[in-house]
Structure 1
Amino acid sequence: MNSAYRTMVLLLFLIQASHAQETANTSFGKGIFNIVAKDSTWSMKIATRMQILSVFNYEKNTNGEFINQPSDFAIRRARLKFDGFAYSPKLEYKIELGLSNQDISGGSIYTGNAPRYIFDAVLMWNFYENFELWLGQTKLPGNIERVISSGNLQQVDRSLLNRSFNIDRDMGIQLRHKTNLSKKFLMREILAISQGEGRNITVGNFGGYQYTTRLELLPFGTFESGGDYSGADLKREEKAKLLLAVTYDFNNNAVKTRSNQGSYMLNDTGFFETNINSLFVDAMFKYQGFSFMGEYALRNADDALAKNADGTLTGDTVEVGSGLNLQSGYLFENNWEVSGRYTNVTLDEISIGERIENQYTVGLSKYIVGHKLKVQTDLSYLTIVNNPDELMYRLQVDIHF
């Protein structure tokens, strides 16, 4: 019985089991159904979502004309989500499974030669006052654009900065705390210790561990409905809200080209190891339909060139450099939104010099039921030093149950 079949059997079992439980009424976008045990010792909300994406690419030739490149029609994401509490409301859990080809791609000997179905499998324990302990696999507290759910994005997908620098998910522990510095001023602190090689790795740890710390400041109080981690100002904040944050990530003896992401750096003795440092500075601002998000990323390594035992180069290189992402939008009363984004990524490719990419994106979104049912489209112009300019058009439908 393969993993996909087992997943469907599990879902059908849960649906059948729900008839024996007290089931709360639910509505569109609030989960397929919610289950609460008769003795209130556990709960489970089951939800699903998918994104249907079309991408059209064009490349400028020597005559200055844009030539059509292969297009892409795909189920970009298809997910099953389970969350609730176990034994006590202070002990919550979340499980998220990916079913589309792009969700589960990346399987290798390091994942047991199995598809990477599991995105999140994490326990969250509020063990004392404002302290929470997270245990399992989930997103690390990296750049804000990565922590925002792919279903709650302001544009069709995340930026080039996120593609090059994000630290994504990993397995480990996180300690989270929040402090009220005044009646409105909130400070949140996060410390994570993780395996350092990304999600679903079953044969690590080859290098050292990864240490991540994040500090968040909300001087004007919390956003409505968690809007600091959601694209667009769907709640139309009546008063200005601001999030300022900084993340520092240290991956000790990292063995991948992008910290815990990218490809493994193999050499004649096994793995090339080097310390990799990542820094993120980001902000989110919302006020009466206007939103702004800014991110800066920086990565460096003790030794960016992978080597064999005798010092000869293997050809692998740590992707060091910096990135800047600026994004803004305005939501009209009819729930149409226009948005714009500028992204710069500069990678220090030592053998060929700097690789500089600039991308300019304009987007248009129609929120039918917030982020739960929306249609998004955007147009991007990409310039890469010493490479042809590129044009990309995307159209996506997003639906959550």
Structure 2
Amino acid sequence: MNHYTTRVLLALFTICLSTFSTQAQTINKSTFGKGLQFIAADSSFSLQLGARFQLQYQGGYDPNTKNWEDRFLVRRSRLKFDGFAFSPRLVYKIELGLSNSDIGSDVPDVTNNADNIILDAVAKWALTPNLRLWVGQTKLPGNRERVISSQKLQFVDRSLLNSRFNLDRDAGLQLHHEHQLGQVVLREIGSISMGEGRDITVNNSGGYDYTGRVEILPFGEFKGNGDYVSSDIEREQTPKLSLAASYDYNNNAAREQAQLGDFLSETRTLRTWFVDAMFKYRGFSAMGEYANRKAPGGPVVLRDEFGDVAETFVTGTALNLQAGYLMPSNWEVAGRYTDYNPTAETGLRNQEQYTLGVSRYIVGHSLKVQSDVTFTQEAEREDQTQFRLQMELAF
């Protein structure tokens, strides 16, 4: 991040703190992990300021160099602002990413890092008690693991399924509807977005992206929105289950992973669907996801003079299964299996990953230490093992 951007962010943060500390009616309900909360004297708006970061160690044996390769990094560093404006029916969220991993490349010649600071900038208007209109840039209603905040994960980071096929963030409109039949909760979500991902300021290079999602909670709602929180932090006293399916139609997508990856020399229409489930009961949690992405007409865009793939969209299938048990001492042991099968035509390699994680939750997901070991089997390559240790601090 350049020095000018850093100074601007620090100035904005300082102004917010000084302004609201003098003009706000009160600082209320502020607890660790919930940020600083302000309500205007006339109750015309509210603001909650939050910050968090993840410090991570990565290490693994490289079979090519025969050496242990490792590093420390700030995996994520975020500032978050949310609250209501004018009326409690109109809420907003702004989230800024400050680390290189949040922003994009850490190589100055590859990208202007200052262009990718904004993660979320979205307003949510309650049209009726059960219907909300979202306007702005935020996560699309795709696979569950992606919509779960990176603060609230069961492992150090998300799975290989998510890194290959998730829809990520995009700018546009979303409609969220919820209703109840007895104890059964039904949710429907639809969105129309640009299709190129976050922080894109040029004209739409292809068509728009259309996403739909349906969720069924047969045993009622989870405590604390637990269907979008990894691990059974709330320790559900009755079984809770959420079943869901999403479908995404990205018309003439321009990037290799729809909203992510490099821009390619030609466009393709991408069709992606997900099915997923979350189950929790008395400290035990289990989640499963399946993803399938196709590009009618073929994913390969360009081949070199030798006939090898030079540009391709990432298509294929993936399966992710994970489960864990949170003990009364707030230690958790969890396991994960991920199978990634790209379309053969793309030339990408199949991968299988086995992950074992151990976590200690000190203050829920706001202060925790997590570690995991991942064993990766990849076609035509030697097996690899990676160890990660991460501290999360949010306030």
Query: Secondary structure in 2 aligned to 1:255?
Result: strand
- Cα RMSD after superposing both structures: 2.0
Question: CA separation of 1:160/1:351 partners in 2, compared to 1, >3 Å: closer, same or farther?
Answer: closer
Please tell me whether residue 10 in structure 1 is matched to residue 12 in structure 2. yes
Per-residue CA distance 1:297-351 (angstroms, 9 max, x = gap): 000001312159xxx9982111110000000000000000000000000111416
The 1-side partners of 2:251 and 2:287 are apart by: 30
Q: Which amino acid aligns with 2:200?
A: I
The 1-side partners of 2:128 and 2:374 are apart by: 47
Identify which of 322, 330, 335 aligns with 1:327: 322
- Residue 121 of structure 2 corresponds to 121
Identify which of 46, 51, 56 aligns with 1:48: 51
The 2-side partners of 1:232 and 1:164 are apart by: 23
Confirm or deny: 8 A CA contact 2:104 2:111 kept in the other structure. Answer: no
Query: Secondary structure in 2 aligned to 1:71?
Result: strand
How far off is 1:204 after superposition? 3.2
Matches within 5 A, 1:206-221: 206-221=205-220
- Residue 383 of structure 1 corresponds to 377
Please tell me whether residue 102 in structure 1 is matched to residue 97 in structure 2. no
Moved over 6 A (4+): 107-113
Question: CA separation of 1:301/1:339 partners in 2, compared to 1, >3 Å: closer, same or farther?
Answer: same
Confirm or deny: 8 A CA contact 1:372 1:400 kept in the other structure. Answer: yes
Question: CA separation of 1:110/1:212 partners in 2, compared to 1, >3 Å: closer, same or farther?
Answer: farther
- Residue 342 of structure 1 corresponds to 337
What is the TM-score when the length of structure 2 is the normalising length? 0.94
Gaps of 5+ in 1: 267-271
Please tell me whether residue 356 in structure 1 is matched to residue 357 in structure 2. no
Per-residue CA distance 1:162-200 (angstroms, 9 max, x = gap): 010001000000001011122x10000000100000100
The 2-side partners of 1:177 and 1:370 are apart by: 29
Confirm or deny: 8 A CA contact 2:139 2:168 kept in the other structure. Answer: yes
Identity of matched residues, %: 47
Confirm or deny: 8 A CA contact 1:196 1:259 kept in the other structure. Answer: yes
Confirm or deny: 8 A CA contact 1:283 1:294 kept in the other structure. Answer: yes
The 2-side partners of 1:360 and 1:7 are apart by: 40
Please tell me whether residue 30 in structure 1 is matched to residue 24 in structure 2. no
The 2-side partners of 1:35 and 1:351 are apart by: 52
Q: Which amino acid aligns with 1:343?
A: T
Q: Which amino acid aligns with 1:240?
A: P
Please tell me whether residue 166 in structure 1 is matched to residue 169 in structure 2. no
The 2-side partners of 1:218 and 1:229 are apart by: 12
The 2-side partners of 1:97 and 1:185 are apart by: 36
Q: Which amino acid aligns with 1:7?
A: L
The 2-side partners of 1:351 and 1:110 are apart by: 24
Confirm or deny: 8 A CA contact 2:286 2:323 kept in the other structure. Answer: yes
Confirm or deny: 8 A CA contact 2:37 2:47 kept in the other structure. Answer: yes
Q: Which amino acid aligns with 2:47?
A: M
Confirm or deny: 8 A CA contact 1:106 1:115 kept in the other structure. Answer: no
Confirm or deny: 8 A CA contact 1:105 1:115 kept in the other structure. Answer: no
- Residue 256 of structure 1 corresponds to 255
Which stretch of structure 1 is more off in the superposition, 103-112 or 250-259? 103-112
Confirm or deny: 8 A CA contact 1:197 1:204 kept in the other structure. Answer: no
- Residue 21 of structure 1 corresponds to 24
Equivalent pairs, count: 386
Matches within 5 A, 1:56-67: 56-60=59-63, 67=66
The 2-side partners of 1:378 and 1:214 are apart by: 31
How far off is 1:117 after superposition? 0.3
Please tell me whether residue 68 in structure 1 is matched to residue 67 in structure 2. yes
Please tell me whether residue 200 in structure 1 is matched to residue 199 in structure 2. yes
Q: Which amino acid aligns with 2:28?
A: A
The 1-side partners of 2:215 and 2:71 are apart by: 38
Q: Which amino acid aligns with 2:269?
A: N
Query: Secondary structure in 2 aligned to 1:7?
Result: helix
Query: Secondary structure in 1 aligned to 2:332?
Result: strand
- Residue 269 of structure 1 corresponds to none
Q: Which amino acid aligns with 2:320?
A: N
Confirm or deny: 8 A CA contact 1:210 1:252 kept in the other structure. Answer: yes
Confirm or deny: 8 A CA contact 2:372 2:387 kept in the other structure. Answer: yes
Query: Secondary structure in 2 aligned to 1:225?
Result: helix
Query: Secondary structure in 2 aligned to 1:226?
Result: helix
Confirm or deny: 8 A CA contact 1:110 1:202 kept in the other structure. Answer: no
Question: CA separation of 1:346/1:313 partners in 2, compared to 1, >3 Å: closer, same or farther?
Answer: closer
Confirm or deny: 8 A CA contact 2:105 2:113 kept in the other structure. Answer: no
The 1-side partners of 2:171 and 2:111 are apart by: 13
Confirm or deny: 8 A CA contact 1:46 1:83 kept in the other structure. Answer: yes
Question: CA separation of 1:201/1:347 partners in 2, compared to 1, >3 Å: closer, same or farther?
Answer: same
Identify which of 376, 383, 386 aligns with 1:392: 386
Q: Which amino acid aligns with 1:250?
A: Y
The 2-side partners of 1:322 and 1:3 are apart by: 40
Confirm or deny: 8 A CA contact 1:112 1:202 kept in the other structure. Answer: no
- Residue 361 of structure 2 corresponds to 367
Query: Secondary structure in 2 aligned to 1:258?
Result: coil
Gaps of 5+ in 2: none
The 1-side partners of 2:234 and 2:66 are apart by: 41
